Structure 1
């Protein structure tokens, strides 16, 4: 017995790595998710060459939609040059021959982990968010069968109670990332672990947002021009992270979401979380011909 006899004969894989059957199924599930905004549609998550929990859901959605004419941007918590983002971007390019970019304005497909770019997305762009935990009711009811019934009945009282308890105990809502949000007036969703700063970027946005959880085998969507409303009480306003006054040490830009960089002397520096957005400002200051698009926020406040 030799290795040659044990190994399967070499054969070229399908375009975009996934086989035709997998693509058909994911596309059908995606269409259903778009038709019912915020509703979690189950699908048969396939194996891809990265570990579960590192973006398998987002990668499958991207591989289903990508074509040779596509231009793909991959973000990992705002950065284009992290190991995870670079590896996924190179893999997508290798199996699809699609173009890649770090510029938000040049991309047609943007796959992201935990952030939405600061520059506004156009109707011809698709945002794919990686989701580790798609169920907003899990923290109040871990039984998935009961949670599905609660979604069917629009019974979101336990989530409201959880938010109320945070106000009673801490004086304000402490929920940070994955802030529960009502989509199209019907389904409450978990908008991926994006910060509260990014949640309002989904409201009435011009672009399509797909949220895909590979480990949990769920896809849901926010179609263009759809209402996305964070759950808040009428007398307590929704608050985002207070980053408007912070200034990026690298680019000098202020009024946007920042990463905090603790220093040895106990102080902190800050830099733009959207790394290429900062790079574009640096290049513009150096005199390069750079186009910077309209942003969701201006001076730390949501633009009208």
Structure 2
């Protein structure tokens, strides 16, 4: 046997950018994460063409799931047109031949930073969330080896204490994002820096959610039809952001999560955080044949 018989023809990069060994490992780790909902599975995070902390974990999972017939949507805090979102989307199209889209209903893979789309996801869609800090116990236990033991013992008393202190000091729980949530009645996870508004969307959802932290080298998942319950006291119900009376100044839509835009005169305008959902509503108001899917919220209340 000659050396040239053992080599493959030169190519600029492997399909999906990552080498096959890396993708096999991430697939195995993802399957374990799905089998144990909310459990953090370690993996060997590879280098990708963006800096750590800017979505490397989510990008690696998406590259592993990528197929030539995939349709990918990438959003950054609700926006499809940010530099980070558009760059990742174009990269996925280049290395995997995937089709790009901004429409939630068309996508088969949705990679997101800090938001879950307002339109409901189907069972044939996968949501990939970028996670900067996967450890919910880090604020109370900086030693990760001890934190792992606390997860093993389901010892989450210190998390309840933090919420209680916020309640006593401020009269309400101030945890605005990364709200600690119990998955499948066993493991507490941090559901990435999504706002409280988005956490109920994970509970008993039809779609698979994969959360990945590239810098911390951890993958965890919420399988379809799995309970995700925010940590709350029996006499203090879970509250989301009160945006029921806020109206998007561009689309005229109300009852959804809004971005506040301070004005020079001290007033504020509000704009739909889910940018493409706002665009679809504008096009529908202008008479275009646009189909709006069912949403998680109705008039600012979870159905």
Q: Same fold (TM over 0.5)?
A: yes
Q: Deviations over 1:124-159 (max 9, x none)?
A: 000000000000000011110000000000000000
Partner of 2:240: 240
CA distance in 2, matches of 1:138, 1:221: 19
> Which 4+ residue blocks in structure 1 deviate beyond 2 angstroms?
9-12
Secondary structure (helix, strand or coil) at the match of 2:294 reads: coil
Secondary structure (helix, strand or coil) at the match of 1:104 reads: coil
Q: Deviations over 1:54-94 (max 9, x none)?
A: 00000000000010000000000000000000000000000
Partner of 1:209: 209
CA distance in 2, matches of 1:21, 1:222: 25
CA distance in 2, matches of 1:281, 1:166: 38
1:39 equivalent in alignment to 2:39: yes
Q: Specify every segment of 5 or more residues in structure 2 that has no aligned partner in the other structure, as ranges.
A: 1-8
Partner of 1:4: none
Secondary structure (helix, strand or coil) at the match of 2:105 reads: helix
Partner of 1:228: 228
Q: Deviations over 1:226-253 (max 9, x none)?
A: 0000000000000000111100000000
Partner of 1:138: 138
Partner of 1:89: 89
Partner of 1:5: none
Alignment of 1:164-203 (within 5 A): 164-203=164-203
CA distance in 2, matches of 1:174, 1:139: 14
Partner of 2:283: 283
Tell me by how many angstroms 1:10 deviates: 6.5
Partner of 1:29: 29
Q: Specify every segment of 5 or more residues in structure 1 that has no aligned partner in the other structure, as ranges.
A: 1-8
Partner of 1:99: 99
Q: What's the TM-score once normalised by structure 2's chain length?
A: 0.96
Tell me by how many angstroms 1:13 deviates: 1.3
Tell me by how many angstroms 1:12 deviates: 2.7
Q: What's the TM-score once normalised by structure 1's chain length?
A: 0.96
CA distance in 1, matches of 2:49, 2:40: 25
Aligned residues: 295
CA distance in 2, matches of 1:167, 1:13: 52
Partner of 2:3: none
Aligned-residue Cα RMSD (Å) equals: 0.9
Partner of 1:265: 265
CA distance in 2, matches of 1:265, 1:70: 46
Partner of 1:151: 151
Q: Deviations over 1:171-191 (max 9, x none)?
A: 111111000000000000000
Tell me by how many angstroms 1:11 deviates: 3.8
Partner of 2:73: 73
